[in-house]
A and B are shown apart, each in its own frame.
Chain A
Amino acid sequence: MTIEQRAQSFLSVLRHCQLLGMTVEQADENGLVIKLPYSDLIIGNPVTGVVHGGAITTLMDTCCGISTVCYLDEFEICPTLDLRIDYMHPAEPGAPIFGFAECYRVTPTVIFTRGVAYQQSREEPLAHVVGTFMRMGKGAIDSQKVPAASGGTA
């Protein structure tokens, strides 16, 4: 299975994500992009039609979590330890939101991920995200597969 197929099969079993209509747009060894379509279900402010932060958190938790398949040889269940989202500006109502995530450090016990939520371009993020995931798998050391942090020093 390709990385994209593995990401798709992971997403397809997550019931709440299916309800929101989330789809894998792109997945390779550099990270993952998931699309969250706009819908009435996820409106948080009924006056402005702006999407609820919770829907963006769900997109980014899912995206960071599934991005682990881009770096691990075998499927492992990786529960979220923590997640932080910083909002740059509200999402434009009516348009889909994309989530991008990558793993910047993989250790035998934890995986550090980061990403952005965006609409027009990844260069203009709605939100920045960091998430840490626990490895429950066999504890294999896959860190040599991951390039030493693509850019950042974290």
Chain B
Amino acid sequence: MNEHIEQLVRDAHESGDYMPLIAEIPYARMLGIRVMRLGEEMIFHLPIKADNIGNPMLPALHGGVLAGFMEQAAMLHLMTSMHSQTFPKIIDFSVDYLRAGLSRDTYATCQVWRQGRRVGNVAITAWQTRSEEPVATARAHFKLD
């Protein structure tokens, strides 16, 4: 594995600041993903950005952008909770859209329901106004090395 990235992952685990690592992931950088640490909790943040809009008439966040944000959140959450040095690989991803993702800032939190030796199961909740009113929920399986 690339030594630079490996070092960034180690630094992130040590300092709790994952922004330098996110800055090295081109897709996460393009979406503009940010992460806040509240003690041990991680809240992922997707600030509104014109390039993330799907339908400009509504206007609404592209459903794929919302899903991509949630998948990236799950991956980082899993790496953090496992102190993993490598990026977990996605096996499957399932998302339910509950409300229109409007042109607003979006937040996500994750829960690892099961972390086996080979596979991890992560649930993701995304919201815009209040966490009790999610815009989408998702579930992902990752292959762990």
**What is A's interface to B at a CB cutoff of 8 Å?**
13-17, 19, 40-47, 51-55, 57-62, 65, 77, 79-87, 90
Chain A: minimal CB distance from B22 (Å): 11
CA distance A59 to B54 in the complex (A): 12
A47 surroundings in chain B (CB, below 8 A)? 1-2, 5, 87
Decide yes or no: A84 and B87 within 8 Å by CB, A13-B56, A57-B68 being known contacts.
Answer: no
Contact with A54, one of B1, B2, B27, B91 (Cβ below 8 angstroms): B27
Given A44-B25, A57-B71, A58-B62: A16 touches B52 (CB 8 Å cut-off):
yes
How many B residues touch A, CB cutoff 8 Å? Answer: 38
Chain B interface, >50% SS class: mixed
Tally inter-chain residue pairs, CB-CB below 8 A. Answer: 126
Q: Which residues of A contact B57 (CB under 8 A)?
A: 13
Q: Does B32 contact A (CB under 8 A)?
A: no
Q: How far is the CA of A19 from the CA of B63 in the complex (A)?
A: 15
Q: By the criterion CB–CB under 8 Å, are A53 and B97 in contact?
A: no
B26 touches A43 (CB 8 A): yes
